[in-house]
Amino acid sequence: MTELFSKKMNAFQTSIFNELAAYKRKKVEQGYQMIDLSIGSPDLPPPSFVMDELANKSKDPSLYRYALTGIPELHQAISTYYSRQYHVSISPEKETLMVMGSQDGLVHLPSVITNPGDIILVPNPGYTAYAAGISLAEAVPYSMPVYEHNQFLPDLESIPVPIREKAKMMILNYPGNPVPAMATKTFFEKVVAFARKYNIIVLHDFAYSELYYEEKPISFLSVEGAKEVGIEFNSLSKSFNMAGCRIGYVVGNEMVIEGLKRLKSNLDFGVFLPIQYAAVRALTDTSLFSEELRMIYKRRRDTLVDGLHTIGWEVARPSASMFIWAKIPAPYRSTQFSYKLMDETGVVTIPGVAFGSEGEGYTRISLVQQEDVLLSAIQKLNSSSIFPA
C-alpha cells in the first residue's frame, strides 16, 4: 500500500516523549542506571480509602455493565467539591460531565466548538494534548507566547484584532504544564472580558489544582461571568494519584457541556463503574490526604531546587504543579541538552521545545521520584561536564 494513512496523520508524528523513552530503554539495556524525571506520572499510590472503595465495588457483579454516563453520585460529588473548594455553584445535572481523564475531553472539545480552519488561541509553550485536539478538529492554532517577564501569562492585547475576531476558542492552563505558573484573579477577569467581547469559548485546564505550595490556585469559574464564556477541566490523576484509572470531569458552561456530552455519547460507553465510585469517595474526602500530598511534593521541590542551586544551576522555585521549568545552560539547545543529560548522568528530562517553539532554552523536570533519588540525580549532574565544579 502506498497511501495507507490519511493526510491528517501527518500532524501525528512520533513524539519526542516516545523517542526519549526508546533512548532510555537502549541505555538501560546497555547497563546504565537511569533516573527518570520526564513524564509527569505520579509515583505515589491513591489514598487507601480510594483503593478500598475500588476493590469493594469491583466485587459487585452488577457493576460490570456499560456505564454510558457518569453516575448521579459522581455529578453530585463534583458539584459539592467545587462548592467546598472554590465556592462555585455547579449544577450536577447540567454543568458537569465525566470524561476518561481530562486529556480525553481536552482533545475532543475542539471538534465540538470549531470547524476546519477556525482559529484556536493556544499557549506556547503548552501541554502537547492541545495541539493534538486542534489537529483532529482541523482547526488552526494561534500561538500565545508566555514569557517569564510577564509571569508566564499571555499578553491578550498583543493578539491582532483580526485574529481575535476569527478565534473560536482559547486554551489556558494554570497551574501550568509544562510551565508551573499561577494565574491571578485580575488576569482571569481580563480573559472573561476578552472572551465576551470576541465571542470566544475559554477552556481552562485545571489538572494541577491540588498541587500547590504557598498559595491556593484560583478556579477560572470562581471569576464573575466565567461560566458564561467557558469551562474548566479537572482530573483525579494528579490530585489523588489515580492516573491509571482514567477519570476526570469538566464543569461550567451548560451549552459547551451539552455539546461535548453529545460527541462523547458517540465515542465510548463511559468509565468502569467501580472507578466512578472510587472517584466519588475521593472527591467527598475531607481528610488530610491532599495536604499531606502537597507536603511530599514540596519537600521534593525544595530538595531538587536547593540541590541544583548548589551545583550552579539556578532554576526557579515553582509555586504549584509537579514540575520545574528550568533554563538550560548555554550553549545547549533543549533537545541536545536532554540527550546529553541522559548520556552523561542518566537523568531523563523533557526538552522544552517539545511543548512549543517558545520552550526552546528550557527543560521540564518532573518531581516524580523520592527525595533520595533526587539527591542521587543532583550528585550525577554535579559529576558531569555540564556543571563543572
- Domain range list for the chain: 14-45+289-382, 48-283
* The residue to which cell 521534593 is assigned: 300
The DSSP output letter for 270 is -
Residues 6+ apart with CB under 8 A from 222: 86, 87, 88
| C-alpha 110: how far from chain center | 17
CA distances (Å), 221 to each of 84, 216, 218, 224, in order? 13, 14, 8, 7
Q: Are 324 and 365 in contact (CB under 8 A)?
A: yes
Residue 61 grid cell: 457483579
Dihedral sign for Cα atoms in the order 146, 150, 152, 154: negative
C-alpha cell at 182: 499561577
Looking at residue 126, its pLDDT comes to 97
CATH superfamily of 14-45+289-382: Aspartate Aminotransferase, domain 1 (3.90.1150.10)
Q: What is the pLDDT of residue 9?
A: 87
Please give the pLDDT value at position 156: 98
What is the C-alpha separation between 339 and 288, in angstroms, rounded?
Answer: 40
pLDDT at 314: 94
Q: How far apart are alpha carbons 365 and 26 in whole angstroms?
A: 21
- Counted residue by residue, the chain has a size of 389
Question: How far from the centroid of its chain's Cα atoms is residue 366's Cα?
Answer: 12
Q: So what's the pLDDT on residue 17? A: 83
The pTM for the full model equals: 0.96
Contacts of 210 (CB under 8 A, 6+ apart): 238, 239, 290, 293, 294
Closest CA to 235 of 227, 225, 243: 243
Long-range contacts of 264-270 (CB under 8 A, 24+ apart): 264/97, 264/99, 264/108, 265/68, 265/69, 267/108, 268/100, 269/66, 269/67, 269/68, 270/66, 270/67, 270/68, 270/69, 270/70, 270/98
| Cell numbers describing residue 223 | 471569576
Q: What is the DSSP letter of 46?
A: P
**Residues of the chain with confidence (pLDDT) below 50:** none
C-alpha cell at 267: 465515542
Torsion, Cα 329 335 337 343, to 10 degrees, reads 180
pLDDT given at position 59: 98
**3-state SS class at 76:** helix
Please report the beta strands in the chain, taking only residues with DSSP state E, as ranges in sequence order.
35-36, 96-99, 119-124, 140-145, 167-173, 201-205, 230-235, 248-252, 323-327, 347-348, 350-351, 362-366
Backbone angles phi and psi of 183, in degrees to 5? -90, 155
Give the pairing type, strands 167-173 and 119-124: parallel
How far is Cα 65 from Cα 75, in angstroms, rounded to an integer? 19
The pLDDT score that the predictor gives to residue 218 is: 97
> Could you give the CA distance from residue 63 to residue 21 in angstroms, rounded to a whole number?
36
Q: Which CATH number fits domain 48-283: 3.20.20.150, 3.40.640.10, 2.60.120.380, 3.30.390.30?
A: 3.40.640.10
- Unique residue bearing C-alpha cell 458564561: 228
